Amino acid sequence: MPIIVNLDVMLAKRKMKSKDLAEIIGITTANLSILKSGKAKAIRFSTLEAICKALDCQPSDILEYVKD
Amino acid sequence: MKTINILKTLINILFVLLIGTLVLGGVFIIAVLFFDKELPFFLQGYTLLFKMFDWKLFLIPFTTVLNFIVFVVAVFYLRKCIQPFKNSDFYSPDIIVNLKRSGFLFVFIGISTVVFRIVGILLMQGQMPVVGGVSSVKIAGIVTSTLDLSVTFLIIIGLFFLLFSKAFENAKDLKQENDLTI
């Protein structure tokens, strides 16, 4: 898929663990792992909003479009 | 849950009865063919049926037996669909595959029954003197007479199963997409 999820990069920048982020935004670590690995088919605006709020960043910091 | 339990019981009963009929039929044919002398008196006449063998006479009975076996297989596939339903696993690949197989077999039985009935009637007519020849009206009459309610219903049920299979396949894809929406 040409949409790349840079969540692990943002987590490293903010020095935050996946487990902590999952707890803050209220999703399971398994679902966060699906999102990080790029296996997710879609992301809800509410989840994106919660991630941006928790990591203090913009959606563009997490999602990136790369041509095939 | 009650509906599934009733359905499961009925399918199991039907399947056992069909298998029983199949076994008894097989035993009967073997007994008539090979142990005619040992059979009770009222069963001994049946061997004549096989002695005056003419494939034209046997076309419809033979295809009926074949269709019966295919019907047993179709019911077997339906039976396999029930367990995932009982476990509330509605998107199981077993349901999709078995409904598709079962639907295909029901449609096959329906169509082949009609085709062999038409062929059988035409062959029989060929053996008998036909007054006024075989007109298109007569052929239309033959085709109409072969399409009885049970055959039409079987084809409709088969097509419904094929449709359900497709619907469950789409539902499975949608569920997967929904599950992978974070």
Q: Is there a contact between B132 and B78 (Cβ–Cβ < 8 Å)? A: no
Tokens of B129: 């003197």
Q: Is A34 near chain B, with CB under 8 Å?
A: yes
Residue B130, pLDDT > 60, answer: no
Q: Give the tens place of pLDDT for each residue, B25-71.
A: 888 888 887 777 777 777 777 776 666 666 667 777 888 889 999 99
Question: Is B45 exposed, middle or buried, given 0-12, 13-18 or 19+ CB atoms closer than 10 A?
Answer: exposed
Inter-chain contact A47–B177, Cβ cutoff 8 Å? no
For residues A24 and A61, give the distance between their C-alpha atoms in angstroms, rounded to a whole number: 18
Of the candidates A58, A50, A42, the residue with the CA atom closest to the CA atom of residue A26: A50
Judging contacts by C-beta atoms under 8 Å, the chain B residues touching residue A41 are: 176-177, 180-181
Judging contacts by C-beta atoms under 8 Å, the chain A residues touching residue B182 are: 27, 31-32, 34-35, 40, 42-44, 47
Tokens of B4: 């599934």
Tokens of A25: 């935004």
Q: Is there a contact between B84 and B92 (Cβ–Cβ < 8 Å)? A: yes
Dihedral sign for Cα atoms in the order B131, B137, B140, B146: negative
Q: Is there a contact between A22 and A32 (Cβ–Cβ < 8 Å)? A: yes
Mean pLDDT of chain B: 84
Q: What is the ipTM of this complex?
A: 0.76
Element (H, E) at B157: helix B149-179
Dihedral sign for Cα atoms in the order B55, B57, B60, B61: negative
**Which residues are bridge partners to A63 per DSSP?**
A5
Q: Is there a contact between B87 and B105 (Cβ–Cβ < 8 Å)? A: no
Backbone dihedral region of A28: left (phi > 0), alpha (psi from -120 to 50 degrees) or beta? Answer: beta
Q: What is the pTM of this model?
A: 0.74
Q: Give the tens place of pLDDT for each residue, A27-62.
A: 999 999 999 888 888 999 999 999 999 999 999 999
For residues B75 and B68, give the distance between their C-alpha atoms in angstroms, rounded to a whole number: 11
Dihedral sign for Cα atoms in the order B104, B106, B107, B112: positive
pLDDT of residue B29: 82
Residue B142, pLDDT > 70, answer: no
pLDDT of residue B133: 58
Residue B105, pLDDT > 90, answer: yes
Judging contacts by C-beta atoms under 8 Å, the chain A residues touching residue B181 are: 40-44
Tokens of B58: 């046997």
- Residues counted in chain B: 182
For residues B57 and B26, give the distance between their C-alpha atoms in angstroms, rounded to a whole number: 20
Please give the single-letter amino acid code of residue B170.
Answer: N
**Confidence band (pLDDT; 50, 70, 90) for B126?**
low
